[in-house]
Structure 1
């Protein structure tokens, strides 16, 4: 059975969600921007300074725009070199790279905006990374897969948490409200988002399980969504707004 896209749920944090929603409208779609989380800071200049002095990273990895903004807010990233031995900075994707550029910081960016893409960068693809000290700048969790693979090659990996996710509370009938808004597509940008969405939506419900379309940004999220029993999972192969919109435009929605 063929189905058209009615309303697309965008559950990203407010600023990112509104930017995607605006581009979706320009592409002819009807989005509903409804953040399910926000961010809080959980670091300060003293914490960052201590980390840099203690671990002396040679490579910095920024995992998100939020990681850049909260780090910069506490202690200008341009000054980090004075307390460490930074040789390279890696941004997980183009949006994170642009955030760094706003502070005149050049960074490497993979072709595939995920952990696998970062591991494929020449600087990290070397057989041995025993000479590398890597700091992953992130929220309170995430990128464990990246860290584990770097450690297997001998790198010393540490996490620097500069923000934390705050999951918002919803009414008991939130899923029903979304159905009334004719939501039949949901954009999911991480496993954390997927797990919290399924707490809001009863995925044993036939509609969400078999008739809603879940657009996810990587194979890892796609595997998790399928394992949860979601039937219509579509991989955008990237978290950029353009990757999401291009996939939406090129996908014919069908279900049996």
Structure 2
């Protein structure tokens, strides 16, 4: 069974090693590349209001590093923010925050819906402020939901997300194996990744029907299902509740047993 690991390069290693150790062939094909945005007046204004935030939501390890680099350009210190409630989208982000001395909480389900169900967000009073350390285009659903509940959002757009230039070359080098496979598995952890994949295989639409797609969270399942219906395809979709490599391996093994 061939597995396409689409996680960004700096976050792919643990899953790849777990799968390869279990005898699964893995192709590392990152569908997102993160590039820090330059310092701007908008970012400076967000940092100036950060003292007012009750909660700071951080969506990735990259957001931690870039956000802390921006903080160093202001008069604020990390110590002044330690009393805030920090929310990390997943374990890797929480570990990265801990490297800066910041304690955080993580949702059981590593999605926007999972974070919104946390008591620190679910029980916020109207007029409260939540800061988002995120990438361009990310977490729109979560921010809009909070705004609809009269929560003020501080929108830190810290980096851009784009399809890595090397993605097409990687796909082309493995295209013969994919075309010969009756079934392969791939991970989709964000809508941006999915849209990039559709663009990448635009000239190879038959590849979609060979896929067993592992999707993070119910909302992203809806997005992938819409594509399935649009093109009248029948690929299996497996919903993931987290990105734990051991859990993903279990699903891969189930697919191997029931191809």
Q: TM-score range by the shorter chain?
A: 0.7 to 0.9
Q: Which residue of 1 aligns with 2:196?
A: 196
**Structure 1 unaligned blocks of 5 or more:** none
1:1-256 paired onto structure 2 within 5 Å: 5=1, 7-44=2-39, 48-54=43-49, 56-76=52-72, 79-80=77-78, 82=80, 87-126=84-123, 129-169=125-165, 177-182=173-178, 184-202=184-202, 205-206=205-206, 208-229=207-228, 230=233, 231-252=235-256, 254=258
Q: Check conservation: 1:38, 1:166, Cα contact below 8 A.
A: yes
Q: Distance in 2 between matches of 1:79 and 1:164?
A: 25
TM-score, normalisation: structure 1:
0.84
Question: Matched residue of 2:49: which SS?
Answer: helix
Question: Matched residue of 1:195: which SS?
Answer: helix
Q: Check conservation: 1:23, 1:241, Cα contact below 8 A.
A: yes
The offset of 1:123, in angstroms, is 1.3
Question: Structure 1 residues 75 and 53, CA, compared in 2 at 3 Å: closer, same or farther?
Answer: closer
Q: Could you list the per-position Cα deviations for residues 181-213 of structure 1 after superposition, in whole angstroms to 9, with x for gaps in the alignment?
A: 34621111111100110111138733x232221
Deviates more, 1:243-252 or 1:216-225: 243-252
The offset of 1:97, in angstroms, is 0.9
Q: Distance in 2 between matches of 1:159 and 1:200?
A: 30
Kindly indicate which of the two structures has a greater share of residues assigned to helix: 2
The offset of 1:233, in angstroms, is 1.5
Q: What RMSD over aligned residues (CA atoms) do the two structures have, in Å? A: 2.9
Q: Could you list the per-position Cα deviations for residues 58-114 of structure 1 after superposition, in whole angstroms to 9, with x for gaps in the alignment?
A: 2100011111121123335982564x7963111111111111111110011111111
Q: Check conservation: 2:60, 2:89, Cα contact below 8 A.
A: yes
Question: Matched residue of 1:40: which SS?
Answer: strand
Question: Matched residue of 2:77: which SS?
Answer: helix
- For this pair of structures, how many residues does the alignment match? 247
The offset of 1:50, in angstroms, is 3.1
The offset of 1:135, in angstroms, is 0.8
TM-score, normalisation: structure 2:
0.83
